[in-house]
Amino acid sequence: MVTVPPVSRPPIILPSRGVARVKSVLSGDTVILLGKAQTPNGKAPEVIFTLENISAPRMASKGNGNVDEPGAFPAREWLRQMVVGKMVSFEVRKQGASAGDRVYGLLSVTPPGGTPDQTISLAQEAIRNGFATPRMTPTANGTAETTDDGIEGGTEEEEWKMSLWQAYDEAKRSQAGIHSQTPLVRKIKNAGEAFETLELVQLSQKVGSQGGKIKCVVEYIFDGSRFRIQVIDPAMGELQYGSFTLLLAGVSSPRVGNPRATPPSQSEDFADEARTFAELRILQRELDITLYGTDKSGVCGVGSILHPKGNIAVELMKNGLAKMSDWSLRMMSPADVPALRIALNNSKQTNLGIWHSYAPPQLAGASVIIGTVVEVLTGDTVNVLPDGVAYDSEDRLVKISLASIRAPRIGNERVGRANEPYSPECRDRLRVMTVGKPCKVQVHYERDIPYGNRTETRQFGTLSTKTKSDVGETLISEGLATTQYHKDGEETSPRYDDLRAAESIAKAATKGLHSENEYKSTAINDLSDPKKAKAYSGSLMRAGKLKAIAEYCFNGARFKMFIPSENCYIMFAPNALRCPQPSPPVGSTRQGKPAEPFGDASKRHARLTVLQRTVEIDCSGCTLGGVIVGSIFVGSGASRRDYGIELVGAGLATVDQRKIDYGEAPQNLVDTQAAAQTNKVGIWSIAQPVDTTYRAPSKSTERQKDEILLARISEIRSGTHFFYHIVNDEASKVMDKSMKLFTTNNGTAGAPCDYKVNRVVAALFDDGTGKSWYRAKIVEKQPGNKAVVLFFDHGNMATVPVATHLRPLDPSLGTDRIPPIAQEATLALTLSRPLSDEYGMDAARKLQSLCWGKDLSIRTTGRDENGKMAVTISTGSNETVNEELISAGLARVAKPAAVQTLAANMVNGSAVIKLAAELNVAQEAARRSRSGMWVYGDIGDDDEEEG
């Protein structure tokens, strides 16, 4: 072992007279004087200066059992309060080799409120106040005899010495200081030996004045953020004079080296500057301290020093002499953190101190990403498809993690890791808020994430949607995630303090992860096993339409679905479809096998349209492999569509030929495939191994002619869905008279009737002129003996009590004799959002303002995929209502597949193609001007509501 000898420095020689600043006070008769640094960044010289001819009681130290000599602490405190941090005048009497490592002499200072020429001798005042005694013995003739200082006195010297004895006599007579009957004897109590630091913290929070503040003195400074503290607050009882190490909360300064350590350690850059900065401002000052807790060892306290002129932590940060300390920052009140953050940013921008070579992080990718969230991977990571980027490869997706957010980890069965508490809830909440929605990501930093033998550069940022300015903050405020612990100096989110404030609120409310209740995970019934699937398939088919969430996408037409109402997973596929197989997943045994033509495109379409969306399924059967088959509908309201038809119409799937041969394939699927073949889209654009003898039934492909009708709207269901009456229709007049007569003959009292679903009955309705009976169809039964009915002669719906608002309808008024008067229609190739969405409601109001109460020219363009009549409406202006809604950004144009399907079913299909082109021009204009729903940029295909 090599022993490094201490560095030998020549003693500092002071001039005989001068002025200097007092750095600290060692005892009642000794101080440390601070000189002026020779260079701007150099260390200022220091010298130990002892008052000549006086002696103060010895302070407590390890050498005397940590116990003061009587009166030692008050003596030190008096001198500390008099001179620390102030300029004093000195007169040297003895220095050099004969004085050892210190200088002896006289010190004088201007008293508080005095003028510069009014000075007092500190030695004389110390004796007069009973804080020191003379070191000479008076002779018999009244003169003083020198003791060990060896200074020969002349007349002036003798007078000086006698003045000290006179002061001494005054102190004794008044029993001041050490001459009192019971001078203070202080015993230092060290944390970790005499008491536990946590005990001090708890006591300070309980009895400390002004919200937990306690009076302390900074005895020693290790570095810019670590101090030796002595408690002097009487309110602390037995812990008064307790001594402990304080770590400054929220900051961490460079460490000062220790050349005597084994091995010796060197100071970090700017460590000496940070310590000097703190020494000049707080060393041996009496200050208020707020304690928050302890470090991991439990020995060091963590807190803030409250200086009358400011916060020392902020000042250190402002001058580039400290970094943020995330672990201790969390102990502070969120309201105290922004000042530190602002100071840190200023020092970084101005390259001060430790940030002299700082440069903002360079991003490999874009700093701002605007796009659509395609998939949620974990509770804090998503895949985003940037706007303007064609989704022709999975590499087009950008993986984004939420900056400074830590979500509970999702389990992994392959490695035997279970879900952390609230991980499914966090991931699902993020899914509801983001999937399929336009978003904006402000990227703050990047990290290299190791994955086995490779490394992935991940971007971290703040993700916002139309309704959520920061989805990460929402997760934290709901107790589903926490803020990330960062290493000191590590890049964080600029909104880190806001995130911590949200976390504090969630903790106070004991939400989610902060709940005191034991977390209980919900067991989900997995029906992916064929035996289980077959056993439960009957109940699923009887349940009718069900809400489901597509958890995973195997190909364009096969999904793992979660059904919340049934609490089960199922394997699901649209009925009668055959989808090309995509490329095998990375890491699978089939990796490297080529995809079938359009297999990857079909899967990407499913990921964009169905994956992690809430969809509606209607189960109709179960395959031998345990796959539940049926219909799947995506979107809601006017944008609701059959996914199977959409997939076939886009040429990304085919109808199973065996289903066609046996007549089991739905006719609308067969017709859609015929249109896709005709237009050579998708898989029909290349030669396919399909049965070339196949011909769609002639009945379903019979083309329709367009018609122009004069009509009035009778009911509006959404911005693009309504019912209308033909103007001057005789059937309407006959039905009005017939129902008035029915009301006259039967009164308005209900009568017993069979109220099965789809049964036609008479239902009571008040249109403002009084109650009357109208023809209606029962749509749904509801609890409480109520029913939802459709008044099909007008198009409106209502929920009515069965006993009082229904009665049997006369057979002569049935629909077999007089068909429904109101015709159901949609605006051709025009999609709006549901009424629950603000833009959906605006679209409906726009349709009402343009059309309600007016005779309209309606042109039919055939029936849409749901069997409703698709129309265009002209109100006399140059534009159709379809165009006006799209121009205002309140509706969108249907997909090309829907255009082709509608055109294929019309005799004048070119008119449909022309209409689509006009609507697309209007949509592009709305998108460029950010009108309506385009205000946040491009939108996704799925506009379902957020949960």
For 522-571, the pLDDT digits (tens) are: 888 999 888 888 888 888 988 889 999 999 999 999 999 999 999 999 99
- Which range has highest mean pLDDT (248-257, 663-672, 904-913)? 248-257
- pLDDT band of 729, cuts 50, 70, 90: confident
- Which backbone phi and psi does 159 adopt, to 5 degrees? -65, -40
Average pLDDT, the chain: 85
The Cα–Cα gap between 637 and 641 comes to 9
- State residue 140's pLDDT score: 42
110 burial class (0-12, 13-18, 19+ CB within 10 angstroms)? middle
- State residue 542's pLDDT score: 87
- pLDDT band of 407, cuts 50, 70, 90: very high
User: Contact at 8 Å (CB) between 232 and 280?
Assistant: no
Give 3-state DSSP helix, strand, coil % of the chain, rounded to 5. Answer: 30, 30, 40
The answer to whether residue 208 scores a pLDDT higher than 80 is no
Summarised one tens digit per residue, pLDDT across range 754-813 is 778 888 899 999 888 889 999 999 988 888 888 999 998 999 999 999 889 999 888 778
The answer to whether residue 939 scores a pLDDT higher than 90 is no
SS3 label, residue 323: strand
- State residue 141's pLDDT score: 43
The Cα–Cα gap between 291 and 198 comes to 10
- State residue 701's pLDDT score: 44
Mean pLDDT confidence for 701-707:
67
- State residue 162's pLDDT score: 87
The answer to whether residue 146 scores a pLDDT higher than 70 is no
Place of tokens 């121009």: 887
Structural domains in the chain plus CATH codes = 17-136+160-179 (2.40.50.90), 189-259+267-355 (2.40.50.90), 371-411+421-514 (2.40.50.90), 525-584+596-685 (2.40.50.90), 705-722+823-946 (2.40.50.90), 730-820 (2.30.30.140)
The answer to whether residue 709 scores a pLDDT higher than 50 is yes
Mean pLDDT confidence for 340-368:
87
Cβ neighbors of 14 (< 8 A, separation 6 or more) are: 33, 47, 90, 92, 95, 103
Summarised one tens digit per residue, pLDDT across range 212-238 is 789 999 999 999 999 999 999 888 888
What are the CA-CA distances from residue 266 to residues 259, 270, 599, 711, 726 (Å)?
7, 12, 63, 91, 94
The answer to whether residue 698 scores a pLDDT higher than 80 is no
- State residue 700's pLDDT score: 42
pTM assigned to the model: 0.60
**Rg, Å, the chain Cα set:** 43
- Three-state SS string across 346-403, please? HHHHCCCHHHCCCCCCCCCCCCEEEEEEEEEEECCEEEEEECCCCCCCHHHCEEEEEC
The Cα–Cα gap between 435 and 725 comes to 40
Mean pLDDT confidence for 602-620:
93
Helix 909-928 / helix 896-904 crossing angle, nearest 10 deg: 160
The Cα–Cα gap between 250 and 340 comes to 8
- State residue 588's pLDDT score: 62
- State residue 660's pLDDT score: 79
- State residue 947's pLDDT score: 31
The Cα–Cα gap between 6 and 540 comes to 84
User: Contact at 8 Å (CB) between 585 and 665?
Assistant: no
The answer to whether residue 703 scores a pLDDT higher than 70 is no
- pLDDT band of 7, cuts 50, 70, 90: very low
Place of tokens 């005597």: 260
Summarised one tens digit per residue, pLDDT across range 29-85 is 999 998 887 777 677 888 999 998 899 999 988 888 888 899 999 999 999 999 999
**Is the bond leading into 263 cis (omega within 30 degrees of zero)?**
yes
Summarised one tens digit per residue, pLDDT across range 461-505 is 999 999 999 999 999 999 999 999 888 778 888 898 889 889 999
Cβ neighbors of 850 (< 8 A, separation 6 or more) are: 873, 875, 881, 884
> Please, which contacts does 188-191 make with residues 24 or more away whose CB atoms are closer than 8 Å?
188/60, 188/66, 188/67, 188/230, 188/241, 188/242, 188/243, 189/66, 189/239, 189/241, 189/242, 189/243, 190/66, 190/242, 190/243, 190/244, 191/242, 191/243, 191/244, 191/245, 191/299, 191/300, 191/301
Summarised one tens digit per residue, pLDDT across range 324-335 is 888 888 888 888
Mean pLDDT confidence for 656-669:
79
User: Which has more pLDDT, 151 or 770?
Assistant: 770
User: Which has more pLDDT, 50 or 265?
Assistant: 50
- Extract the tokens encoding 94: 């003895």
The answer to whether residue 137 scores a pLDDT higher than 70 is no
Mean pLDDT confidence for 589-616:
86
The answer to whether residue 816 scores a pLDDT higher than 60 is yes
- Extract the tokens encoding 256: 């000062």
Place of tokens 């991003």: 363
- Extract the tokens encoding 931: 């009108």
- State residue 2's pLDDT score: 33
The Cα–Cα gap between 317 and 345 comes to 9
- Extract the tokens encoding 449: 């994430």
- State residue 1's pLDDT score: 33
- State residue 363's pLDDT score: 83
The answer to whether residue 443 scores a pLDDT higher than 80 is yes
Beta-strand ranges (E) seen in 884-933 are: 892-893
Mean pLDDT confidence for 907-919:
83
- Three-state SS string across 148-208, please? CCCCCCCHHHHHHHHHHHHHHHHHHHCCCHHHCCCCCCCECEEECCCECHHHHHHHHHHHC
| Percent of all residues in the chain with a pLDDT value above 70, rounded to a whole number | 91
The Cα–Cα gap between 76 and 27 comes to 5
What are the CA-CA distances from residue 160 to residues 129, 403, 677 (Å)?
17, 71, 119
| Percent of all residues in the chain with a pLDDT value above 90, rounded to a whole number | 39
The amino acid present at 86, given as its one-letter code, is K
